[in-house]
Structure formats: C-alpha cells, structure tokens
Chains A and B, each alone.
Chain A
C-alpha cells in the first residue's frame, strides 16, 4: 500500500460521470453562445448557479447522512420575504438583518434536526411539515404579498463584483461559493465528515463505535438550514424580492445531488459531485435557452435528466463493480 508515495486525486464512486457531463455542457455552451467565448461568460454562469450549488451542498449533507430536507425551498422564500420586510430599503439595517437571516436558517435546521433525532419522525415528514409551516407562517406575517424592499448593500453579495488583479471583475457570489465549497470539501475529508457518511450507511455501527449519531445528524440539518439562508441572501440580491423565489428549489437541489451520483438513503457520494450536479443543471438550463428551447420545457428536461441520472447510477454502478471483480485481489499490505 503505497498511497503516501503516489498520491493522486481519488474520486468517490459516481463522481466521474457528472464531471464528464459538466465538461460536455461547458464545451457545448462555448459553441452555442458567443458570450461563452471568454471567461466572463462562465463567471456569469457561476454567479447564476451559486445559490443552487450552495443549496445542493446543504442538501448533500442531509442526504448523505440518510435524510431528506424538503424545507429548503420554502426556507429560501421565507428568508427573502423576511429580508425585504425588515430591511425596508434602509442600508443601516443590512448587517443585523443578514445576521438574523443566518440565525433563522440555523434555527429552522435545528428544529428539523431535533424533531428527526429526538421524536424519531422520518425526516421526509419533518421537513414536509416544516415546508407547510414556513409557507404558512411567512405569508401569515406578511399578509400574502412580500412587503418592504431590500437595501443596496444587501444586494451586493448577490450581484456585486470584486476587482481582482488578473481575473478582473469576480462576482462576490462566486467567491462565497468557493469558500463554501472548499469548506465543505475539507469537512467531508475530515473525520467528522467521514463519520457523517457512515451514519447514512449504518447508524448502529457508528453509535456502537462511540459516535454521537444524533449530533451528527443535527449538524447536517443545521448546515442545510444555514446554507439555505446563505443561498437566499445571494438569490435575493441577484433576482430581487418575490414570493415565488424559492418555489421548487428543494426538488431542484435534490435533483442536483442525485445527478451527482449521491445515493438517496445515504452512505455514498461526494460533495464535489453534488456541487457539480448543481452546476450542470444550471449550465444545461443556460444551454437550452441559448438553443431556443422554451423556458416552459425546463422542468421537463430536468425530469428526464433526473430519471436518467438515477437509472445510470443503478445500472452503471453494478457494471463497474462487476468489471472490478475480474481483477485478482492482491494482499493488502
């Protein structure tokens, strides 16, 4: 075993296909649209994709540990509506509202996680309930339509850019996305991240190994809530206030994660692949627009893709494993 001598990047099972898909899409974009002949086009794509990628990373953490988070879409809507109402167009309010939004995301994640782990309700049901509660509560509070307005400074992370030497104008959201992604990758490579995947695979084994299963699951839900809040801030900045902003985002995030080859039910998949899945989705939508497919068909395409991705995972993984058995098994040391 000479892994220390010959280190090479190791892709988790199922990561490679989505990277290939992503690469193909990015190349296709370059052919389809003149905007993609220079880096700025791709930066714009990244900027558009940032909220979904961040949501997908949060969803990944929950799915890989064996759960579902259906509440993120309505959480995003709630966060945006709250932001508009509390900021009310005043720049002075930005900072504390941002803090409050992040706190609210954490709180929602905490409630999801606590009910799942303490009351033993399947997370599908818990987060479905949370979805209903958030949908209702926010509109109850705002009276049905979003009120107030965002401030200029609040919208900076979502649509502003930072001048960086060499690269030129780099959107804030891309930088934030990079930070989140690097953080998530480091976390998943570490002991806690590996244990989180093991929880999704066999929580009894982790519990008997002395692991705190409930805390790990809670951590996943809280991260998902926090990242949803972050995604909402970016999305609000980018697209403005609307009561529909988060609609269907939970399914889109789940699609992205599944597209990344992550196993529903937990125990397998990489966070990079989940992020790549989200980016692929967004790239695909851009491509469809460029070649003139109606926006209305977007969801139909998403539907076909999600089925194809899962079918490929189900059949492809078996095939790969079968091919692998053919190799003789040398002694490990």
Chain B
C-alpha cells in the first residue's frame, strides 16, 4: 500500500456552538484519488478549508508525513505542500498565466521579481502536463474556462504540492473538457500526487477515485475502496436512506402548444423548430456551448431571435427583452443562481416577490397576500420570510428562485441546470416540484448537463449540436443515444 502523505485525525470544528465537523478522519495516500462525498452541508467544504489553513480545527490533528502541523493561514498550508482548487476559480483575470501561477510566491532575484524564471517554470509545468497550447504570458481573461482550470493545477504544481484538493472541479466545465480533466487528474495521480476530489457527480467519482469517504452532518460515515461500493450503497450512505424513486412518475397526455419555434435563430443558434406543450417537460441536451442555454436566452429576450418565428399559444410574438417575456407568461430559472437569480442580501420575501415587483405594474405588482402559500408551495425551509437568502442552503435558494417565478403565474417555465450544486435530497424535491407543475399544465423546457437527470425527467429530449437541433429522442432514451447526437455521430428520430 502506498505511503500516507496526509492524515486528518478526529477533526472537529464548530461555528459559535454549531458543530460543522464532528471528529472526521481522512487519509490521503500518494498516487491515489480519494473522493470526498456527502450532501450539501455535510461539512466537505469546511474540511477542505481546514486542510487549506482557512479555518483552524477546534480539536483533532493534521499530520503531514507523520508530523503534526498546524496552519494559521492559507500561506502556511501552501508552504507545507497543500494546494486547494476551490469551487470558484481563484485566478486574477487581468494578470498573466505566469503571474497567477506564482501569486504569493513570486521568485525574487536582486530585489525584483524574476519574471523570466516565472515564465520559464510555468512553461515547463505546462509542457509537463501536455498543455503546451497555453501561453504563460497571456492574460487569463483570454483563456476559456477549461484552460483556466489547467492554470489552477499548474499553480498547485508550482507550489510543490504533494496534496491537491479539488472542490467540484468539473462544475464549470463542458463535457469534453471534463474528459481532459479526468486525464490530467489521472496523470497527476500516476506521478504520485495525493488527490482529494470533492464532487456531486457519481460517475466522476466512480471513474476517477480509488477510495471514497462519505460525510453526513459533519460526521464520518464510511471510507472504503471505490471498487467495493455500488452507487446505490453510496447514495444510501450519503442520504441515510435509499432513494428509490428519485424521479417522479411521468403523467398523462400533454395539452395544447404553449410555445413554438419555426426556423428560429440568431448568432448562436439556427433553424430551431419545435413545440413545447402544456403539461410536458421537454429536455434540452447538448455539450456546453452547443446552444442549449442560448435558446433559453433567446426565448427570454436577452439575445432575441433574429430569424424565424416564435409563437406563444399559437400567436407569433416578439420578445425583445426579459420584461416582455415575463409579461407573456414565461419564467426562466437561470443556471447562475447567485449571479443572476437572487439578490442575496435581500429577504426570502423580497426575492420571492422580485419578479412581480420588477416586471408587473399597479395592483398586480403590489400583491403580497399569497406569499405564505407561495413559499409553502415550493416548500422553502427558512427561519421566516425575513431571513436573508444568502443564509439558506443551495437547495432552498433554488426553491426561492422557483417561487419567484411562480409568483407571476407563468405557464411556460425554462429551467437551466435546476439542480446544479444542490444535494441529492433537495434535487429530489426540485424534481417533484417540476413534475407537479407540469401536471398542473405548465410547459417546461429543461436544460441540464447531467444526463441521468435529463433522461429521468424529460418526456422527450431535443439534442443540440453546434447551434442546431441534431435530433429528438423519446422519454427514457439511453445516455449513449443522447451523447451520440450531441457529439454529432448518432441519428435520432426527427421531431
């Protein structure tokens, strides 16, 4: 068995009396990918931050190569050979790749930063990773997200990290970029790095890791080799109960056409022709950048269609801006919950009423008497309507976003990555909610990069490829069929 590089021993951490970690053990070995799983709020991020020197544990020990260490700042952890890639990328867009890689550790020669050495070392590491397409002197702002991730990894490598912790590294990546990242992680592992890998995505964890540790409510649940676990067992460990019916039953016949595109297109998408009917959930699949979200943003009037016809309940309409979309009874749950969905410092109440107040006029905009019923219908768990939404969990925040749209009673709802970053339990609640809405006659267009979810929820699936619809698949299609169309290889039934 390979060498134990880092060990966490009985780590506990409370924030003013609320225990977040209750005696967690973790062993990281050289040349091994160790997956850390658990629902949101299970304590994964806190554990990572303890390892990174952001938080100090209340009790418990951190051992590196057998010696006990204690970190007062992220700087100490870094010096000890621990590198963390946080969920939000930690790069300065307006500095160069090399400057970012060496941030906080710039080599100094005769009183000034040795830029040549920085660039040379960055180039060496990029070459080593086989990523020689990245210019060390380019501004990070010019790089696509996947390459920025590579820069993060180079940053970790340049710090001579022996332990690399990655918090949901694929969250922002397109599917083909995910493959590249797998490859990169595997290579780092093979070269002896100890990797701690946090992810919500089952498939990644089973593909990549050799060992899985599960946390629940801040406590250690289990640690076992990946090959000895099935995904059902894993879910049971995480949730504490089996999740047999993750996806609700599909209902009956769809109703009339709510929204219909005829040869619609703009700069990013073209030749779109499809209908969404009352009572059905239409899934929209495709690789990132294939135009999935561009369709949503076009219908929504952010970047409107410039060609073709958009029909609403059989009438051609023009939707030049979001305001018009709201007034035409369309709701849009964006994929960026914090950046575009919520005003985080405002209360649950103010967020739930946001669309109504922002887009409607007069009496309709002022109405608030139904707020309690509204929040109940989406089942938000909060201290009260006046709690600020930033203190809610991701799942509850997403429910507030849904509530905000239901407040204006749309009959078309577009949801873009509705379960991103929320835990399994909350996912199930969101699925049930969407299905109930459809049963009540809502027409739903659902975008997701998680294929099992898309297949489990959709009544039919449209697959996008390079800005156009590559094909349509019926409910229950296989992942292979979807991926085939999405990558431009397969042939589906035409809608």
Contacts and interface: CB of A to CB of B under 8 A. Distances in A.
Interface of A: 1, 3, 10, 190-192, 194-195, 197-198, 201-202, 204-212, 263, 267-268, 321-327, 329-333
Contacts of A327: 383
A136 B385 CA distance: 50
Contacts of B344: 201-202
Given A209-B359, A211-B323, A201 B346 contact: yes
Interface size grouping (class) on chain B: 35 or more
Contacts of A326: 16-18
Nearest to A333: B376
Contacts of B386: 10
A194 to B, nearest CB: 5
Contacts of A322: 15-16
A319 to B, nearest CB: 9
Contacts of B357: 191-192, 194-195, 211
Contacts, number: 117
Interface in B319-349: 321-327, 332, 334, 339-346, 348
B159 interface: no
Contacts of A325: 15-16, 18, 391
Contacts of B339: 202, 204-205
Given A198-B343, A210-B323, A191 B365 contact: yes
Interface of B: 15-18, 300, 302, 321-327, 332, 334, 339-346, 348, 350-351, 353-359, 365-366, 372, 375-376, 380-386, 391, 404
24 contacts: A1-B384, A191-B357, A191-B365, A194-B346, A197-B343, A198-B350, A198-B351, A201-B343, A201-B346, A202-B343, A209-B358, A210-B321, A210-B355, A210-B358, A211-B358, A267-B345, A268-B345, A325-B391, A326-B16, A330-B383, A332-B380, A332-B382, A332-B385, A333-B375
Contacts of B383: 324, 327, 329-330, 332
A215 to B, nearest CB: 11
B375 A209 contact: no
Contacts of B334: 208
Nearest to A207: B322
A206 B344 CA distance: 12
Contacts of A321: 391
Contacts of B372: 1, 333
B325 A197 contact: no
Contacts of A3: 384-385
A209 B16 contact: no
Contacts of B321: 210
Nearest to B338: A202
Contacts of B340: 202, 204-205, 208
Nearest to B357: A191
- The 3 lowest CB-CB distance pairs between A and B, nearest first, are A210-B359, A211-B358, A191-B357
